[in-house]
Amino acid sequence: MRGGSLKRWNGWGDESVSLAVPPAAARLLEARIGPGAPPKDAALADVVAGAPPPRLAPGRLVTTDAETRVRHARGQSLPDWIALKSGRLGALPDAVAYPESDADVRELLAMARAGVRLVPYGGGTSVVGGVNPAPGDAPVLTIDLARVNGLLDLDETSRLATFGAGILGPDLEAALRARGYTVGHFPQSFEHSTLGGWVATRSSGQESRGYGRIEDLFAGGRLEAPSGTLVMPPFPASAAGPDVRQMILGSEGRLGIVTEATVRVTPIAAREEVRAFFFSGDERALAATRALAQTRLPLSMLRLSLAEETESALLLAGAGPTARALDAWLALRGVKAGRCLLLAGASGEEAPVARALAAAEDLVLSARGVPGPAALGRRFLRDRFRGPYLRNALWDLGYAVDTLETATTWEKVPALVAAVEHALSSSLEALGERLHVFTHLSHAYPSGSSAYTTYVFRAAEPDATLRRWELAKRAASEAIVRAGATISHQHGVGSDHLPYLAAEKGELGVASLAALARVFDPAGAMNPGKLVP
Amino acid sequence: MRGGSLKRWNGWGDESVSLAVPPAAARLLEARIGPGAPPKDAALADVVAGAPPPRLAPGRLVTTDAETRVRHARGQSLPDWIALKSGRLGALPDAVAYPESDADVRELLAMARAGVRLVPYGGGTSVVGGVNPAPGDAPVLTIDLARVNGLLDLDETSRLATFGAGILGPDLEAALRARGYTVGHFPQSFEHSTLGGWVATRSSGQESRGYGRIEDLFAGGRLEAPSGTLVMPPFPASAAGPDVRQMILGSEGRLGIVTEATVRVTPIAAREEVRAFFFSGDERALAATRALAQTRLPLSMLRLSLAEETESALLLAGAGPTARALDAWLALRGVKAGRCLLLAGASGEEAPVARALAAAEDLVLSARGVPGPAALGRRFLRDRFRGPYLRNALWDLGYAVDTLETATTWEKVPALVAAVEHALSSSLEALGERLHVFTHLSHAYPSGSSAYTTYVFRAAEPDATLRRWELAKRAASEAIVRAGATISHQHGVGSDHLPYLAAEKGELGVASLAALARVFDPAGAMNPGKLVP
C-alpha cells in the first residue's frame, strides 16, 4: 500500500508533517466566527474493527484487509473528513485491487459483467467525492493504480514521456529530472495525486499558465474499459473529427481506467522565480491581473489574493515577526487598507524569465502596484504544497475548512466573487453560525479567470457539521450557477457537483456524457454516482 | 447567394483572379510527368439545364433554383473538381435553404423528422467531400449559413467576440479590425471559408502557432441540432467533466449546425513579419525547425518547405527574374543543392516581434542556415491566400493537383514524409503515369509537426482522372496509417478520409462518435456519409 503508515488515514498528507495555526490567525478566526471546540475523533483501530464484512473474496490482485478498505473509503472533501473523523464511513469498498499491468486491469474490469461496481483510485485526493463507493446492493471493488507507475518511454526527440498512470507527482518529476526534463504540473495535491488522476479530473497546476493544464500536457495514452481498450495516439494536433482524448480528460473513472499516459515534457527550467506585488483594493488588483493575463508575457503563474484572503493568508502563513515590517514597507509605499497580494511567476531559461518578470513589474508599477519583499515569492515556492496541512491544524482547533473554485469571463469575475462570498457568508445565518470567507484567483487567462474561495466555520457534532457544510456548499454552488460560471475550474464533478452539471452542459451535453458511458461501460459499473447522473 | 457570379462555380476562388503558371514551372512539370492536354470543361448553363428535378418544394427560406443547387453540390476536393469540370455532378441537393436566425435553423432542422437529409454548408471549401450530398432516395436540403453572419457581441474586457457562424473570414476580420482586434485565424481558404466551417472541421491557420488553432480560439457558442439546442458557455477553462465544446469541434455537421461562435480576440498586431531562411538538405532543415518549435519563442508561424517543394514553389511563384539572383546569393553562402526554405513569422507588439525574430535568426545561424532575401517573407504575407488559384491554372494546362496533410511526432516525421512521398510517386506506375510530389511542414509543434504534401499528375478523361486520384490517394492514406500518423491535421474527415478514421480513433473512438450522433441526431439526417461510418 502506497504511503503505508506515513499517510494520514483521516486527514491531509504525511503523518510526519504537522503545521500549527499561528496564534494571530486563531485570534482572527475567534473574532470572526467564534471559538472552536476541539473535536473527539474516532480511532483508526475502532473504525477498522467496525468495518462490515466484505462481499467480495480476496484473490491474486485483490485484498479484503479491513484497514486497506477503510483507507480507500473516502477522499479529501469536507464530507469525507467528517465521515473519517467521526468514524461513520458509510459505504466501504468490499475489496481493494492492486493491478500491476494492463492485463491485470482488464481481468479486474471483467468483474463489471458479474455485477461488481468498480471505483478507479489514483491518489485518493478527490475533494468532490470522486473515489467514494456509492451505497447499494452491488459489491464495490476499488482499483488502486499504485503499482502501475513506471516511466515506460522517454522520446527526447518529440519531448514525450509515457508513464504508468498510477505514478505519484513527486515520483514522476524525479524520474524525469534524472533525464533533464519536467512536466511542470503542480496541483496543490501534487505530493499525493497521480498522473492518471490528473487526467481523469482535468487537473490544473500552479504553473499551468506556463506549462499548460493537463489537457495541454496529456498527449495520448491508454484507457482500459469494460468494453475494450482505447489507445490515444500522441499526435501534436489532428483534425480527424472530435478529439477522443478530450472525452477521456475529465471522465472521472466513468469511462474506464487510464493506465498509461503520454505527457509533453520540457527541459528543466534554469530559473524559476515568483515575485510578490501588492495593490490597494480588489478593484485595482483585478485590473492589473487581467492586464498581465492579457499580455503575451511568458509568465508561468499569476495568483491574486483579494484583500480578505491577503490578510488571512499572511496570518495563516505565520508571517508573524515579519508582518509588522511588511506593514511598514507597504504603508511607506501608499498601500494601507485592502491590500491585495499578487504572485507572478516565470519559469524557463535565464534571460526570458528575467525579461518576463521585469516586464510584469513595469506593468504592475504602471497599475499603481508595489513590489513586495522577495521573501514572499521564495516562500510561495518553498511552501507551495503545504496549504492543505493547515486543514489538519484548524480541525484540531474545532474549525472546518472547505474550498471551492469556479471560473468565468473577466467581465463577470467581480460579480461572481461577490455573489459566492455573499452566499457563503450568509448561508448559516438561520443556524446562528458565521463563516470566514476569502478568495483568490488561482489561474488567470486572457479571457477570464478562476476564483478560488476558502470558507471556515465551526465544527460541531458530525451531523451538525455536515448540515452546515451542505447549506454553505449549496448556497455557493447556486450562486456560481446564477453568475454564469463553471461549477468547477479544477476540482472536478464527482458526486458533490453533480446536481449543478446540467446547468452548464445543457441537456444535450449531459446526454452526451451518458451516451459515452454506455459505449465504454454498458453495465454502468464504473464509478457509479459520479459525473453522469 | 454569397459571392454571386464572382465565385467560380467549378474551380477555386473569385472569377476575377487568375494566375498563370510560369513557363519555367510548366517546363519542370513537363519534364517530370509529361505534357498536359488542356481539358474540355462543361459549361455552367449545360450543367444547370441538366439538373434533375428537385424532390423538395421551395419555401420561405428554401430555393430550388437549379443554378443555386449546382453551386452547392460539391466542395473543392479533386474528385469534386473532376465532377464539376466534367459536369457529371452525381447527387445534387434538392434545395438550398438560407436561414437568417436560430429560429429559422430550428425550423429547417425539423425536416429531419420528415425524412429529409440535411447538409450544413459554410463556405463550401471542404477538400474531403464534407458538403457533398450523399446519393440516396431521401431528398437532400443544403443549409447555407451565409445570412447568419453578424458580429453579435464584443466583450472587450474578456476579449471575446460572438459572431453568427456563417460569417466569412474577411468579413469577420474587417468587423473586428474596426474595433482594434483580430482573431488571427488564417487558413489558406480564409477568403471563402466561414467561422462555423472552421469550428466544424477543426481548422488550423497559417499563424496558429501564435494565435492558436480553432480549438484554442473557439471559446463557446451555440449548436442547433435535431434533438435541441446546445449552448456552450465561453469559460476560460473548466474541470466539469469532458469538454462538450471539443465534441462539437470537428463534428462536420453530423451533430447539428453551429449557428453562433464566440472566439477569443487580441489587439491587432502592431507588427507582423515573416523571415525567410535557407538550409542545405532536408535533414538539417528539419533539425533546425524542430529546435525552433521546441523553444518558447513567441513565433506565430513556422513553415518549412523541403528541398523538392522549395524548388517547385520558387518556380510556381514565378520567382523568375530574381531566381538567378537568389541562386547566386545562396551559392555564395554555401547553400547549393537541396536547399530548403524555412519561413518564420512573428506577430504582436514591436519589441517582442523583433526579439523573437532575432532569436530565431540566431538559432538558424547556429544550425548552419542562411538568411534569405527579405522579399520572400513579404511575398508570403502578400500572397498567402493565392496558392489555390494555381490549381485553376494547372488544370487548364491539363494537370490535376491535390494536397494531403497529416501530423505525427518529431521522431516519426522523416519516415512519414518519405513513406507518403514514395507511396504517391509510385502509385500510378501500373498506369504508366508519373507524379510530381513535394512536401512542406505547415505547422510545427514542440512534440511534432504536420506534413503537407502536394501531388500533381496528368488529367485525362474524367473517369481516368478520378481513377488516378483514387490510386494515389489510397496509397498515400495507407502510408499515413502505417506510419502512425493522423489521417488529417487540418482538412478534416468528410467522406474521403472516413475509411482511415478507425485506425486512429480505435473501435471505441468510432463508437463514441456514433453514440454522439445518435444523441444529437436520432434520425441520422445530418450530413450522412461524413465522419461517422
Among candidate residues A520, A500, A501, the one with its CA nearest the CA of residue A511? A501
Count of alpha carbons within 13 Å of B518, Cβ hemisphere only?
A: 13
The predicted structure's pLDDT at residue A1? 39
Q: Distance between CA A402 and CA A76 in Å, rounded? A: 10
Instruction: Give yes or no for a contact between B162 and B261, defined as CB atoms under 8 angstroms apart.
Output: yes
Q: Pick the residue of B230, B238, B413 with the most A CBs within 10 A to test the interface with A by mutation.
A: B238
pLDDT digits (tens, 9 = 90+) for A133-156: 998 999 999 999 999 999 999 999
Interval B363-392 mean pLDDT: 94
Interval A383-404 mean pLDDT: 95
Q: Pick the residue of A188, A208, A235 with the most B CBs within 10 A to test the interface with B by mutation.
A: A235
| Lookup: cell for B94 | 434538392
Cell 493575463 belongs to: A293
pLDDT digits (tens, 9 = 90+) for B180-234: 999 999 999 999 999 999 999 999 999 999 999 999 999 999 999 999 999 999 9
pLDDT digits (tens, 9 = 90+) for A481-522: 999 999 999 999 999 999 999 999 999 999 999 999 999 999
Asked if B158 and A411 come within 8 Å (Cβ–Cβ), the reply is: yes
Interval A180-195 mean pLDDT: 98
pTM over 0.95? The answer is yes
Arithmetic mean of pLDDT over chain B: 96
Among the partner residues A219, A241, A296, nearest to B531 by beta-carbon distance: A241
Among the partner residues B157, B225, B443, nearest to A411 by beta-carbon distance: B157
Closest residue of chain B to A496, computed from CA coordinates: B240
Q: Is the pLDDT of residue B427 over 80?
A: yes
Q: Which residues in B lie closer than 8 A to residue A495 (C-beta atoms)?
A: none
Minimal Cα–Cα distance from B146 to chain A, Å? 23
Q: Which residues in B lie closer than 8 A to residue A227 (C-beta atoms)?
A: 508, 511
Q: Distance between CA B264 and CA B267 in Å, rounded? A: 10
Count of alpha carbons within 13 Å of B101, Cβ hemisphere only?
A: 4
Asked if B506 and A447 come within 8 Å (Cβ–Cβ), the reply is: no
Minimal Cα–Cα distance from A129 to chain B, Å? 14
Cell 474545532 belongs to: A398
Interval B10-20 mean pLDDT: 95
The predicted structure's pLDDT at residue A319? 61
Q: Is the pLDDT of residue B497 over 90?
A: yes
Among candidate residues A276, A357, A346, A333, the one with its CA nearest the CA of residue A310? A276
Minimal Cα–Cα distance from B206 to chain A, Å? 14
Among candidate residues A473, A480, A501, the one with its CA nearest the CA of residue A403? A473
Minimal Cα–Cα distance from B499 to chain A, Å? 12
pLDDT digits (tens, 9 = 90+) for A275-307: 999 999 999 999 999 999 999 999 999 999 999
Asked if A508 and B243 come within 8 Å (Cβ–Cβ), the reply is: no
Q: Which residues in B lie closer than 8 A to residue A233 (C-beta atoms)?
A: 484, 486, 504
Minimal Cα–Cα distance from A220 to chain B, Å? 11
Instruction: Calculate helix-pair angle for A350-366, A282-294, nearest 10 degrees.
Output: 140
The predicted structure's pLDDT at residue B3? 43
Minimal Cα–Cα distance from A158 to chain B, Å? 4
Asked if B489 and A239 come within 8 Å (Cβ–Cβ), the reply is: yes
For A7-12, the CB contacts below 8 A with 24+ separation are A7/A71, A7/A192, A8/A392, A9/A44, A9/A70, A9/A71, A9/A84, A10/A41, A10/A42, A10/A44, A10/A81, A10/A84, A10/A85, A11/A81, A11/A84, A11/A85, A11/A391, A11/A392, A11/A395, A12/A76, A12/A388, A12/A389, A12/A391, A12/A392
N-term to C-term CA, chain B: 32
Among the partner residues B264, B296, B489, nearest to A352 by beta-carbon distance: B296
Instruction: Give yes or no for a contact between A172 and A195, defined as CB atoms under 8 angstroms apart.
Output: yes
pLDDT digits (tens, 9 = 90+) for A51-90: 999 999 999 999 999 999 999 999 999 999 999 999 999 9
Q: Which residues in A lie closer than 8 A to residue B294 (C-beta atoms)?
A: 159
Closest residue of chain A to B228, computed from CA coordinates: A508
Interval A386-402 mean pLDDT: 96
Amino acid occupying residue B51: A
Among the partner residues B294, B501, B512, nearest to A159 by beta-carbon distance: B294
Q: Which residues in B lie closer than 8 A to residue A512 (C-beta atoms)?
A: 244, 247, 516, 519-520
Q: Distance between CA A120 and CA A102 in Å, rounded? A: 14
Minimal Cα–Cα distance from B297 to chain A, Å? 9
Q: Pick the residue of B244, B300, B452, B527 with the most A CBs within 10 A to test the interface with A by mutation.
A: B244
Asked if B515 and A511 come within 8 Å (Cβ–Cβ), the reply is: no
Q: Pick the residue of B189, B247, B297, B510 with the most A CBs within 10 A to test the interface with A by mutation.
A: B247
Closest residue of chain B to A513, computed from CA coordinates: B242
The predicted structure's pLDDT at residue A322? 67
Interval B2-25 mean pLDDT: 86
Arithmetic mean of pLDDT over chain A: 96
The predicted structure's pLDDT at residue B319? 61
Strand partners, B404: B453
Q: Distance between CA B367 and CA B99 in Å, rounded? A: 54
The predicted structure's pLDDT at residue B322? 67
Minimal Cα–Cα distance from B217 to chain A, Å? 10
Closest residue of chain B to A515, computed from CA coordinates: B515
Q: Which residues in A lie closer than 8 A to residue B447 (C-beta atoms)?
A: 158-160, 219, 234, 236, 264
Counting one residue from chain A and one from chain B, the pairs whose CB atoms sit within 8 A come to 276
* Residue B320 confidence class, pLDDT cut points 50, 70, 90: low
* SS3 of residue A292 by DSSP: helix
Q: Pick the residue of A447, A513, A518 with the most B CBs within 10 A to test the interface with B by mutation.
A: A447
Among the partner residues B223, B246, B450, nearest to A243 by beta-carbon distance: B246
The predicted structure's pLDDT at residue B2? 44
**ipTM tops 0.90:** yes
**DSSP, residue by residue, A428-488:** TGGGT---EEEEEE--B-SSEEEEEEEEEEE--SHHHHHHHHHHHHHHHHHHHHHTT--S-
Among candidate residues A77, A33, A45, the one with its CA nearest the CA of residue A397? A33
Asked if B506 and A229 come within 8 Å (Cβ–Cβ), the reply is: yes
Asked if A237 and B512 come within 8 Å (Cβ–Cβ), the reply is: no
Asked if B264 and A446 come within 8 Å (Cβ–Cβ), the reply is: yes
Count CB-CB contacts under 10 A for residue A250. 26
Q: Distance between CA B70 and CA B49 in Å, rounded? A: 10
